Structure 1
Amino acid sequence: MSIDGSILSPSLADGMVVLAILLPLVIGVICVGRAAGTWWRRALKGAIGCVVVLTCQGIALVAVLLQVNQSYGLYTGWSQLLGQQAPPPRQNLVKIRRHSPVRRIPISKDNPHPEGEWSGIEVEGTDAMYSHLPVWLPPQYFEKSQSHVSFPVLYWVGGLNDTGEHANVTVPITGPAEKLIEDGQVNPFAVVFLPGRIREGQDTECTNIGGMDHQSWILDTVMPKIEKHFRVGHIRAQRFIAGYSTGGYCAANLTSKYPDRFNAGFGLAPYFHPLFDPPQSSQATPLLISENSVVNRVRSGHVPRDVRFLSVISKADRQAWSDPASKGEIDGEEFWKKARSMSQYPFMLLSQGGHTTGTYAPYVPQSLEWLGQYGL
């Protein structure tokens, strides 16, 4: 009998919730039926049976949660686990020096989209669930005075399991973008949301592996189509790329591998060489890994001077900074040691927080503002 199948099925999750609720009730009823004595004694024994089952379920749930968290380092404290997001930083953790003035474009009364507009395109070359790429356009894009102006564009790559639609949910980008544009901290810019993978169950890490040309899809399919349909990009100075986790690695790799395509980028919880899951892990050759390793480029000195990439990493993040159990696979600390003296690679190092969006989302505004000094 095969046990393959998605554990993300809503019906499976709903069924387990129903079972978790009904099981204690059934046991309670059985306890009442088998108990002797007056009705209130039987009811008390039934209630005790329910409480015992619920307590055991709670202990089991916490035990599993702690084991999973121990393995993946998702949360470093109970406050994070309970959904409390880290407060926004009170000061800049990285130097920001603007090289050119921001374009302040007033919003007129006849602007059809004074709050900006969500658009999108369908792009071939992926499974159906990854083919739609949402595009957010700032209100200035719709000003009549700007009808022939090309705007900067940020390509945002989601985490491994993100579709384009979900990428802005996992790490909110457009909210901070609107605020920074309104405050004149960055130029009006568009955002294109890319998925973390292009085939279901295939971890291609924005590389070309096993006949799935994820990297070429971004560079040769997505970008030309975006620039054909929208007044964005077209030249290196107007293109930026960033992402979270797997998307952070993608951004780190593409900015240094194709410096003629991207002006600058940043990564939240990035890593710096491809970390393939099966089946790609068995298909990855040493040459493929080396050609897509930012660590190797830094180690060999093959990083062009005009590369600009900001890394935002928590030292408590065992999936991005370091983990002794990974035997060197988690390479954030190693990369920091080798790249921290290079002007191409500034860092924002956080003292606490695991590999969750709650750790990193508060640093989106400052990261976008950092890109602003290069034209975003």
Structure 2
Amino acid sequence: MGLTSKKLLVLVIVLAVAFFVATIWLWPRLSRQGVKPIAGRIGLLFGGQMAILAALGLSINSYFGFYASFADLFGTNQDPGQVVDYTAGGTSGKDGLQHLSSQGVGVPGGGSPEKAGRIDKVQIKGPKTGLTTPAYVYLPPQYFQKGYSRQNFPATVILTGYPGTAESLITRMKYPQTATEHIQQGKMQPMIMVMLRPTVAPPRDTECMDVPGGPQVETFFTKDLRQTISANYRVGNASQNWGIMGDSTGGYCALKMSMRHPDSFSAAVSLSGYYNTHNDPTTGDLFGGSKQLQNENDMMWWLKNKPAPKIWALVTSSKQGEWDYSRTVAFMNAVKPPMQISSIILPSGGHNFTTWNREVPSALDSLSQHVTQ
């Protein structure tokens, strides 16, 4: 049973209930003095508390999608399984892409790629950085239709928060399902989406930086990922062909990488993203003692001290429930041409999937209009 298995969650809940019943039933017998009765009482209390905490932790992880497996939780290496060569559009696993599996999109007609699109699970190894990460690639229905067989499509990178799981973008955020429905309804143009988490050197939170002496995550996203996807799918490699979107840490990464690399991404959406990063226990030393590097990863500093990038960006927050509302307003006010800024500001909403699910449909529609074929 895996970390996200419902069977494991049910088993732990049953165990917690069993400890509760056992405590009530056996407590009178263990009320005497002596080493064994005291040890029994301690065991029942400790076991019950641990079972309750485990059930609570598994429930929270299942809802928010923090960790996909025990190996992910403990930071150990995870075997990606048997890999087969991938062929798409006449290519054969170019630039480090390997195909793991394919699945339908969970909408009516989802079994037919021509009607609902397809989701490919792939493994990407960056040719420049050597970083390797799993990802999901959503292909719109038009990708498989004869009338579009020679057409390139725009693409968008979709990022989770930290630590996050790429699966949550499908199961919780429902990006592919929303895209297919909105494409069918004419609300957004057909667009490829590459869905993954920003943590490509787990368990470290690199904040999508090229860490001095460490993983070159920014280069992976701005160079390797785009090059690999463009080599294996029908999408261009120019900045106007690419957007980037994410929530929380993924939102910060999306905004930062588009502002710092407008030659890589011409459009960005930051759902409840923040505007600067710092060192903490999950990141380790990101700046190598360089104040300049720290400044350059602060987007407010960037707006004040660097030329405005020629990009479009959408930021979201809520007046009640989000701690970054005032920073978001300050950021929007600091934007100067040629950068364009849009926003979704909710009256209320916390830093969670429920809030982001309210924002994703409109954000996707707008983003699709700011990337081209």
TM-score scaled by length of structure 2: 0.68
Question: 264, 267, 270: which is aligned to 2:267?
Answer: 264
Q: Is the 8 A contact 2:239 2:265 kept in 1?
A: yes
In the TM superposition, what whole-angstrom CA distance separates every residue of 1:149-176 from its partner, at most 9, and x where no partner exists?
1001111111111233333334221122
- CA distance in structure 2 between the aligned counterparts of 1:198 and 1:254, rounded to whole angstroms: 15
In the TM superposition, what whole-angstrom CA distance separates every residue of 1:335-355 from its partner, at most 9, and x where no partner exists?
244349986222211221111
Indicate the SS of the match to 2:320: coil
| 1:320 and 2:324 aligned | yes
Counterpart of 1:310 in structure 2 is: 314
- CA distance in structure 1 between the aligned counterparts of 2:4 and 2:167, rounded to whole angstroms: 19
Amino acid in the other structure paired with 1:332: T
Sort the Cα spacing of 1:290 and 1:129 in 2 relative to 1 into closer, same or farther, 3 A: closer
| 1:136 and 2:138 aligned | yes
Counterpart of 1:234 in structure 2 is: 237
Sort the Cα spacing of 1:31 and 1:165 in 2 relative to 1 into closer, same or farther, 3 A: closer
- CA distance in structure 2 between the aligned counterparts of 1:16 and 1:119, rounded to whole angstroms: 33
Q: Is the 8 A contact 1:204 1:276 kept in 2?
A: no
Counterpart of 1:374 in structure 2 is: 370
Counterpart of 2:102 in structure 1 is: none
Counterpart of 1:204 in structure 2 is: 206
Q: Higher RCO, 1 or 2 (CA under 8 Å, sep at least 6)?
A: 1
TM-score scaled by length of structure 1: 0.68
Structural RMSD (CA)? 3.5
Amino acid in the other structure paired with 1:272: Y
1:204 deviation in Å? 0.4
In the TM superposition, what whole-angstrom CA distance separates every residue of 1:36-93 from its partner, at most 9, and x where no partner exists?
xxxxxxxxxxxxxxxxx9xx98xx98xx99xx9xxxxxxxxxxxxxxxxxxxxxxxxx
- CA distance in structure 2 between the aligned counterparts of 1:196 and 1:374, rounded to whole angstroms: 22
Mapping for residues 1-376 of structure 1, pairs under 5 Å: 17-30=13-26, 113-124=114-125, 131-209=133-211, 210-278=213-281, 280-284=283-287, 285-300=290-305, 302-304=307-309, 306-321=310-325, 331-339=327-335, 344-375=340-371
- CA distance in structure 2 between the aligned counterparts of 1:339 and 1:194, rounded to whole angstroms: 28
- CA distance in structure 1 between the aligned counterparts of 2:27 and 2:139, rounded to whole angstroms: 62
Indicate the SS of the match to 2:137: strand
Indicate the SS of the match to 2:231: helix
Q: Is the 8 A contact 1:167 1:195 kept in 2?
A: no
Sort the Cα spacing of 1:12 and 1:289 in 2 relative to 1 into closer, same or farther, 3 A: farther
Amino acid in the other structure paired with 1:122: Q
Q: Is the 8 A contact 2:141 2:180 kept in 1?
A: no
Q: Is the 8 A contact 1:152 1:189 kept in 2?
A: yes
Indicate the SS of the match to 2:341: coil
Sort the Cα spacing of 1:346 and 1:301 in 2 relative to 1 into closer, same or farther, 3 A: farther
Q: Which has the higher strand share?
A: 2
Indicate the SS of the match to 1:208: coil
Amino acid in the other structure paired with 2:201: R
- CA distance in structure 1 between the aligned counterparts of 2:124 and 2:337, rounded to whole angstroms: 40
> Which structure 2 residue ranges, 5 or more long, are not aligned?
32-44, 61-111
- CA distance in structure 2 between the aligned counterparts of 1:248 and 1:198, rounded to whole angstroms: 16
> Which structure 1 residue ranges, 5 or more long, are not aligned?
1-7, 36-52, 69-110, 323-330
1:279 deviation in Å? 5.2
Amino acid in the other structure paired with 2:345: L
Indicate the SS of the match to 1:217: helix
In the TM superposition, what whole-angstrom CA distance separates every residue of 1:74-113 from its partner, at most 9, and x where no partner exists?
xxxxxxxxxxxxxxxxxxxxxxxxxxxxxxxxxxxxx863
- CA distance in structure 2 between the aligned counterparts of 1:17 and 1:129, rounded to whole angstroms: 38
Sort the Cα spacing of 1:112 and 1:302 in 2 relative to 1 into closer, same or farther, 3 A: closer
Amino acid in the other structure paired with 1:113: E
- CA distance in structure 1 between the aligned counterparts of 2:279 and 2:171, rounded to whole angstroms: 24
In the TM superposition, what whole-angstrom CA distance separates every residue of 1:323-365 from its partner, at most 9, and x where no partner exists?
xxxxxxxx43542443499862222112211110101211111
- CA distance in structure 1 between the aligned counterparts of 2:222 and 2:176, rounded to whole angstroms: 23
1:296 deviation in Å? 1.1
Sort the Cα spacing of 1:182 and 1:288 in 2 relative to 1 into closer, same or farther, 3 A: same
Indicate the SS of the match to 2:136: strand
In the TM superposition, what whole-angstrom CA distance separates every residue of 1:18-49 from its partner, at most 9, and x where no partner exists?
552122211221257699xxxxxxxxxxxxxx
